[in-house]
Structure 1
Amino acid sequence: MQFKDIVGQVAVKKHLIQTVKDERISHAQLFLGPEGSGGLALAIAYAQYICCENKTEEDSCGECSSCRKYNKLVHPDLHFSYPFFAKHKDDTALTFIEEWRKAFLNNPYLGLDEWRDQLNADNKQANINIAEAHSIISKLSLKPFESEYKVLILWLPEYLEKEGNALLKVVEEPSQKTLFLLVAQNQDQILNTIISRTQLVKIPKLRNEEIEEYLSSQKGLKPDQAKQLAYLSNGNLQTALQLLTTQDNDYHEVFLQWLRSCWQNNGLKIVEYTEGELAKMGRENQKNFLRYGINLMRECMLFIAETPGLIHLPEKELEFISKFSTVLDLAKAEAISEELERAIYHIERNANPKILFLDVSLVLVKILKFNTFRHKADSNILL
């Protein structure tokens, strides 16, 4: 993985390269950024650049012996740790290394859901167990085989619980020429004892324009298609890549008709949409459809708050929110957005789609027509 292969993040790339030039490579670093921003890809590109035998001013060479092994994730001094779904108490990340390499090389922006699908994990709980913590300590106690540095990249340290305390000493006082790179998405879920021992590298979410350019140049999408998918992804390239598989769906028209039925309190139309159009979409399409609605509600709130400079919408979406905002206020838009987020939560837990979308529709009727909001105590009604 080279820096040139990573979408956007120009400032982060420059910072990482400069640390190598200035010989200020911190032994423990925390790459913190939202899903789909490229944190994992950046960590691997950084490690490859450090170990490259013929590095340039802006990137690794991609051709030396070290780079060729990094490109396949088989360098003997490159180690990985990540959440997995253990079948046995002695399972470690190494048990699933072939699946890991395949998943990353296929998509450097993968998220936990895609990793779960690779392992056919169903609804099992991911974690990094004590056996893996001991495995990390063992790996980092070895001397480098070929490179100056040995590197361990730990993806999603949020899934380290009390087992993470076993790593404190190796993080704080690693053996010489050891590089410990953690790639996280949620700082609040990481052990404070781990955070305090690492140097933070903040990674912002990607701009819509960067994702749009990537989809047009690398995936061959037409400008209008790339613009809509970039808008739907909200800075998450992983989401944009998932949406590629469903790009023929016109979520705008379906969402418009669904909301119109709810606003009119048209029971027959609501049932027709929930049992037909929405329930038959398929799980991933349903989640993408709801994400589209959440993004539209966010733009509605910006429109109502009279902040046009922050609104970046295709023409038909802009026309929709300008009309729909006449019957909406901030409280209603926020309530609808929360309802759609709740629906995604239930879909991920295999709720019956007919029951789910009918329930959501009835709640939207109450919000739009009667200014009545769901009580928080009812938020888990479908679990």
Structure 2
Amino acid sequence: MQFKDIVGQQEIKQQLIQTVTENRMSHAQLFLSPEGSGSLALAIAYAQYINCLDKSDTDSCGVCSSCRKYERYIHPDLHFSYPFFASKDVRVATDVLDEWRTMLLEDPYVNLDLWRSRLNAENKQANINIAECHDIIKKLSFKAFEAETKVLIIWLPEFLEKEGNSLLKIIEEPTPHTLFVLVAHNQEQILSTLLSRTQIVKIPKLPSATVVEHLCTHYNLDRDIAATYSFLADGNLIEAKSMVIHQQNDNAVLFSEWLRMGYGNKVPDLISFVEQAAGWGRENQKNFLKYGISFLRECSLLLSGAEALVKLPENVLETAKKLSEKVLDLTMAEAIIEVLEQAHYHIERNANPKILFLDVSLQLVKIIKFKTLPKGTQYIYN
């Protein structure tokens, strides 16, 4: 993978290239980023650049023998470690290396849910176990096979529990020309002993404009639709791509209409909507509810007088303003958000969608029309 294949992150790319050209690479680095920002792809492109035989000032060449092996993730001096679901047939990460490579070849923007879907995970918990730690130590104790630098990329070191302490010595005193790159999303869940031995590289979430441009270019989307997906994904390119693949609805129109049905106490229309929503499929239902939560949070900013902080696409902003002026108030918005969050939780756990959307629709009527809030909420009348 080359830097040019990675969406956005120009400053980080240049920073990583400079560490190589100026010969000031730390041997243990932690790429810390929100999910969907491209941190794993950056780690791979960084490793490829380091070992490229004909690198330029801006990228690896992509055609030398080293780059060609990196492009297929088969370079003998490129090692991966990642969470997996242990079984009698799977003891260490290399036991599912083929599945890992296949996933990266299709798209290096991945998360744990996508990885889980590749494996027969059942109800097992993902982790990086002690057997994997010992396998890492064994692999890195050998000299580099053909590259100048051996690279180990540990994806999601948050799944290294106390067993990760067995890696401290090799991280502190690695064999010559060894690079560790840890790719993480949650700093608080990483062993403090590991954190203290790495140089942190903070990778920001992708700007909305960058996500919009990518969706328009690669999926031929209308810019307004791409802007809606970008807003909902909040810089997470994995989430935005998933919406493109699964989305069939104009959530902005549907959600505002749903609120108006609740305000008008239009029960026959609500029942018709429930029938429609029940046939969307789980991913579309989740995206719809997630959109509603995000939309109402932006409405809450409008209701609080903080319009400058609102991130809604232009084509949706006017709708949000009208709803905020004529239908919603702050306490009402907060109450509906609570109901939608509970509904999203239950949809993820395979609740009956027809029953769930009917229940939520009736709660909308109670909250918006009759100003009856969930238990424990105090309503402040306008």
CA RMSD of aligned residues (A): 2.1
Partner of 1:127, secondary structure, is coil
Tell me the residue number matched to 1:160: 160
> Structure 1 residue 37: deviation in Å?
0.5
1:36-55 alpha-carbon deviations (Å, 9 max, x no partner): 10010001011111111111
* 1:91 is aligned to 2:91: yes
Tell me the residue number matched to 1:170: 170
- Range moving further from structure 2, 300-309 or 229-238: 300-309
TM-score w.r.t. the length of structure 2 is 0.91
> Structure 1 residue 112: deviation in Å?
1.1
Partner of 1:292, secondary structure, is helix
CA distance in 2: counterparts of 1:354 and 1:314, whole angstroms: 30
CA distance in 2: counterparts of 1:130 and 1:157, whole angstroms: 13
With over 3 angstroms needed to count, the CA separation of the structure-2 counterparts of 1:205 and 1:164, relative to structure 1, is same
> Structure 1 residue 366: deviation in Å?
4.5
Contact residue 90 and residue 131 of structure 1 kept, 8 A: no
Contact residue 51 and residue 147 of structure 1 kept, 8 A: yes
Contact residue 37 and residue 203 of structure 2 kept, 8 A: yes
1:109-166 alpha-carbon deviations (Å, 9 max, x no partner): 1111111112243443222122112111111112110111111111111112222222
- Range moving further from structure 2, 157-166 or 54-63: 157-166
Contact residue 31 and residue 43 of structure 1 kept, 8 A: yes
Tell me the residue number matched to 1:117: 117
- Structure 1 residue ranges without an equivalent (≥5): 377-383
With over 3 angstroms needed to count, the CA separation of the structure-2 counterparts of 1:188 and 1:335, relative to structure 1, is farther
Tell me the residue number matched to 1:259: 259
> Structure 1 residue 264: deviation in Å?
3.7
CA distance in 2: counterparts of 1:347 and 1:85, whole angstroms: 24
CA distance in 2: counterparts of 1:348 and 1:122, whole angstroms: 16
Amino acid at match of 1:168: L
Amino acid at match of 1:319: E
CA distance in 1: counterparts of 2:73 and 2:83, whole angstroms: 18
CA distance in 1: counterparts of 2:332 and 2:190, whole angstroms: 34
> Structure 1 residue 373: deviation in Å?
3.1
Amino acid at match of 2:312: L
With over 3 angstroms needed to count, the CA separation of the structure-2 counterparts of 1:71 and 1:86, relative to structure 1, is same
Contact residue 89 and residue 131 of structure 1 kept, 8 A: no
Tell me the residue number matched to 1:34: 34
1:329-360 alpha-carbon deviations (Å, 9 max, x no partner): 33433343343333333322223323433443
Amino acid at match of 1:155: W
Amino acid at match of 1:296: F
Amino acid at match of 1:226: A
Contact residue 31 and residue 203 of structure 2 kept, 8 A: yes
Amino acid at match of 2:47: A
CA distance in 1: counterparts of 2:355 and 2:131, whole angstroms: 42
Tell me the residue number matched to 1:185: 185
With over 3 angstroms needed to count, the CA separation of the structure-2 counterparts of 1:109 and 1:233, relative to structure 1, is same
What pairs up with 1:170-249 in 2 under 5 angstroms? 170-249=170-249
* 1:295 is aligned to 2:305: no
1:249-277 alpha-carbon deviations (Å, 9 max, x no partner): 21122212322233344454444433x12
Contact residue 248 and residue 284 of structure 2 kept, 8 A: no
1:65-95 alpha-carbon deviations (Å, 9 max, x no partner): 1111000000000011111122228521111
Tell me the residue number matched to 1:309: 308
* 1:144 is aligned to 2:144: yes
Partner of 1:370, secondary structure, is coil
> Structure 1 residue 309: deviation in Å?
2.9
* 1:285 is aligned to 2:251: no
Tell me the residue number matched to 2:380: none
With over 3 angstroms needed to count, the CA separation of the structure-2 counterparts of 1:316 and 1:216, relative to structure 1, is closer
Tell me the residue number matched to 2:323: 324
